[in-house]
Structures are given as C-alpha cells and as structure tokens.
Amino acid sequence: MSTGEGTPPPQRAPARFRDADRARSAALTFDLRQLTLDYYANPYPTYHALREYAPVHRLPDGGYFLSRYADCVAVYKNVALYSSDKQREFRPKYGDSLLYEHHTTSLVFNDPPLHTRVRRIIAGAFTPRAIAAMEAPIIALVDRLLDGLAQRGGGDLIGDLAAAVPVEVIGNLLAVPRQERGPLRDWSLAVLGALEPVLSAEQQRLGEAAVRDFLSYLAGLVAARRASPGDPGRDVLTRLIAGEQDGDKLSERELLHNIIFILNAGHETTTNLIGNGLYALIEWPEEKARLIDSPDLIRPAVEEMLRFESSNQLGNRVSTAPAEIGGVSLPAGSFITLGIGAANRDPAEFLDPDRLDLAREPNRHLAFGSGAHVCAGLNIARLEGRIAIGRFLARFPHYRLAGAPIRGGRARFRGFRSIPVELA
C-alpha cells in the first residue's frame, strides 16, 4: 500500500560522523555539561563515536559516561555495587531545597529499604488485570482526540494527542479529580526539567515552585482520600495510603514525594514515545507503509520506537566500592551516567541499529532501564503507545508535516515540543 504523501519525507539525520578525526575528537572531548546544539538535535553520531573511541568515557567533572549496551546492563543488574541514592550528587546541585527533598525521597533515586517498600506498595496497582481495565478508557480518549484533529484537518501531534493521553491515564491511576488535572503537566515538566545535566537559575526556580505547589495540592488530595478511600486494586494513591498504615510505614513526606514521582514518571516519557514514534514514521515511509499494511505489527513497532528514539536517554548510578567496567577501573563513589540512547544503538546488540525496523526481533532495548528499578509503568506506557500510535495511523495514514517540528531541547528526555501535521 502507498502512504500517498505528496511531499517527500524530511531528510533523515545521519547517525555517524563523516570522518574518523571528527568522531574521535567528539568522543574524547565529550562533556555532558557542555552539550552542543548538534548533539541536542541528533546525539547518535556522538554516541557511536563514544562507543568506538571512549566507551567508558571519563567526563571532565570526574564522572563516567557509558555507551555500550553490555556495560549498561552490567551496571543496572548490580544494585549493591551501583547505587541509585542521589543524596551526595544532588546536594551541591539543589542545596537545601524542596527539589533536593523531592529527588532524594522518590523511589527511583533510593536503594533498599525505601525503594523496596514503595515498589512493593505500588506494584499491586500495576497488575495485568488493572492495566487491561485501562484499555477501553484510553481508546475512548484517543478517539475523542482524533475526532478533534479530524475536525481541524490537522494540528499539533504533541499538544493535541501525545501529551493529552498520559495526563488522563496518570490522573486516573491516582484518581485525581478531572477538573484538578490542569497544572499536572507543567508541574511535571518543571520537576523533571530540573534533572538536566546543567541547570539554569530559571529551571531551578520553576522546579522548586512546582514541588512546593505539588506538595500543597497533594496534601489536600491525600486528606480527602484518607477520609474516603478508593478501590486499592486500581487507585495507586489509596494503595500508598493503605501501605502507610502497614508495618512498612511511609512517612507523610515519603508518601507525598512518591506520589509526585509517579505522577511525573509517566508524563513526558510517554508523550515522547508517542511523538517520537509518529515522527519516526514520517522519516521512514517504507516502515510506515509496513505498519499500515500489517496493523498487528504495532506491538514490536512500539518496542522499536522505544529503542530507536528512547524518550529517557540517560540514567544514573554511583559506585559504592572500587569497580571495573569494560576494563576501566573506577574508584568508589564514581558518578556514572548510563547512555540508554547510546546502548540502544549498539551494533554489538542490535543488527543495523540505526535502521528503524518495526518487526525487529529480538529487541531487548533499555528504554525502560533494567534490574531492580526497571520502569514500574512499562506496560501502561506500552498500552498508551499502541493505542495512540495504532489508532492515529489507522485513521490518518497520509498524515504529513505541516511545518517545522520543534525539539524539546533536552538531553535526558528526548522528544518534541510540537510537531505540526496535516492529515491530508
């Protein structure tokens, strides 16, 4: 089947530097605190160069950047040697602030016992049965959004579709009243934006204000839910509150910060899965045609989109003892950045890694991390991705760009601020 585009798709960005000197120099001088505009637009040539010339790269600030798949997996799997606790790393960055309190209290940036306690409490709300029950409401929401796009003949893939889905899904997961969901996305963008490798005073101010407003909003929501609990099989907030009363009690602060984290974790990441995926199909018309012809490919297609343009590009750990990674010795206390986006393009793991292959098999990508902290919401994200991308494509197979897309301009969370499209 033809996709019927009248205009040619945009040029794909090259995945490698053209000459070896440039690649070597990009690798050896790579500095997460001095990222170039070229890197923000297309980090893959740098990632390939790093893997080739400096796979365990010592950053100017003394930290290490990993770009090989096998090295990242080894770090993810060894929770005793590679800690997620961020207290030492975040103190100089955030000082004595609510941002510091937040990012050092959420489960993702903690080791056992806090990590295990919170993870156990929320796990029961992410069962296959609970996730299956989300399907019909997500389909209804996506179809409403697609109706809006159809009426207007086009719109912004991010604002009009990709961002609207997770706000609703996460809002439902914690049973946040619909009329109160308005500020959630901006709070979430501000709190997670503060995790960028370098922080401007403005980002810091916005992040701090977002944590403050979030805490005060949630204090009221938690009080209301305590007075009138929801269904613990579906409502993560009710579970967390109930968990609080077990032997493994969460303090009020632990409870509130972990709710903020869960509200944030699934927002921008899932928005970017949908946006990056639909953009990749514009760049790869033959793969788009393949998916239109075989809609059943949507499962492996979403996995491939997660691998190809991972919405979360960077992970972090700190070594608790002297360690060796890929033949390089690291002292105890080394800050390590896991290049998820780099690992997911490693030719040692993925055949022809810069090619989008919607039927790729096997596809053991690291988009959701791995090991004890592997994304708790991965099956929710997959479901959202399948429904939003699959239904959009089925309804508007001839969609195309109606203007220049605007990238988010972040290193950790890769995605677009807007993708204007017409539906042809």
Residue in 189, 343, 367, 411 binding ligand HEM, rule: CB under 6 A: 367
Residue 377 as a binder of ligand HEM (CB under 6 A): the answer is yes
Give the bridge partners for 316, in sequence order: 337
How many CB atoms within 10 Å of residue 335?
Answer: 18
Rule CB under 6 A: is residue 265 a binding residue for ligand HEM? yes
Q: Residue from 43, 315, 341, 390 that binds ligand HEM (CB under 6 A)?
A: 315
Of 185 and 373, the one with the shorter C-beta distance to ligand HEM is 373
Question: Which amino acid does the sequence have at 343?
Answer: A
Q: Is 369 in the site for ligand HEM (CB under 6 A)?
A: yes
Element holding 406 (H helix, E strand)? strand 406-407
Taking CB under 6 A as the rule, which mask of x and - marks residues 6-35 in contact with ligand HEM?
------------------------------
Cα dihedral 2, 4, 10, 11 in deg (nearest 10): 40
- Look up tokens 């760049």; give the residue: 283
Cα-Cα-Cα-Cα torsion 342, 393, 10, 12, nearest 10 degrees, comes to 20
Give 250's DSSP letter.
Answer: P
Could you say whether residue 207 binds ligand HEM (CB under 6 A)? no
Count residues contacting ligand HEM (CB under 6 A)? 25
- Tell me the closest approach of the beta carbon of residue 151 to ligand HEM, in angstroms: 28
DSSP 314-345: EEEEEESS-EEETTEEE-TT-EEEEEHHHHTT
- Least distance in Å: CB of 7 to ligand HEM? 29
Q: Pick from 47, 69, 335, 368: which binds ligand HEM (CB under 6 A)?
A: 368
CB 63 within 8 A of CB 334: yes
> Under the criterion CB under 6 A, does residue 154 sit at the interface with ligand HEM?
no
What is the nearest approach in angstroms of ligand HEM to the Cβ of residue 323? 17
Q: In the complex with ligand HEM, which residue's Cβ is closer, 3 or 312?
A: 312
- Considering only CA atoms, which of 294, 416, 304, 308 is closest in space to residue 358? 304
**Interface residue with ligand HEM, options 376, 393, 401, 423 (CB under 6 A):** 376
In the bound state with ligand HEM, the residue whose beta carbon lies nearer, of 158 and 381, is: 381
Contact residue for ligand HEM among 45, 197, 266, 339 (CB under 6 A): 266
Report the Cα–Cα distance between both ends of the chain, in Å, rounded: 16
Nearer Cβ to ligand HEM, position 105 or 269? 269
Among 273, 383, 387, 393, binds ligand HEM (CB under 6 A): 273
With b for 16 or more beta-carbon neighbours within 10 A and e for fewer, the 150-173 pattern comes to: eeeebbbbbebbbbbbbbbbbbbb
Pairing between strand 335-339 and 64-66? parallel
Q: Quick check: 264 and 171 in contact, CB under 8 A? A: no
Task: Kindly state whether residue 102 participates in binding ligand HEM, applying the rule CB under 6 A.
Answer: no
**Which position's Cβ is nearest ligand HEM?**
377
Rule CB under 6 A: choose which of 97, 312, 337, 418 binds ligand HEM. 312
Q: Which of 46, 97, 270, 313 binds ligand HEM (CB under 6 A)?
A: 270
We find the least distance from the C-beta atom of residue 172 to ligand HEM, in angstroms, to be 10
* Interaction of residue 170 with ligand HEM, rule CB under 6 A: yes
Given the rule CB under 6 A, which of 9-17, 145-153, 284-292, 362-370 is the region that contacts ligand HEM?
Answer: 362-370
**Distance (Å, whole) CA 242 – CA 240:** 5
Which tokens belong to 287?
Answer: 């793969």
Taking CB under 6 A as the criterion, the residue among 26, 49, 98, 107 binding ligand HEM is: 107
CB of 264 to ligand HEM, least distance (A): 9
Judged by CB under 6 A, does residue 192 bind ligand HEM? Answer: no
> In angstroms, rounded to a whole number, what is the distance separating the alpha carbons of residues 117 and 293?
46
Q: What is the dihedral of CA 416, 417, 423, 424, to 10 degrees?
A: -80
Q: Which segments of 233-347 are extended strands (E)?
A: 314-319, 323-325, 328-330, 335-339
Residue 126 to residue 236: CA distance in whole angstroms: 9
- By CB under 6 A, tell whether 46 contacts ligand HEM: no
By C-beta, is 400 or 410 nearer to ligand HEM? 410
CA–CA separation, 176 vs 58, rounded Å? 44
302 binds ligand HEM (CB under 6 A): no
Give me the count of residues in the chain.
Answer: 424
Q: By CB under 6 A, tell whether 375 contacts ligand HEM.
A: yes
108 is a contact residue toward ligand HEM (CB under 6 A): yes
Packed helices 201-227 and 184-193: angle between N→C axes, nearest 10 degrees = 130
| Interacting residues with ligand HEM (CB under 6 A) | 84, 107-108, 115, 119, 170, 173, 262, 265-266, 269-270, 273, 311-312, 315, 367-369, 373, 375-377, 380-381
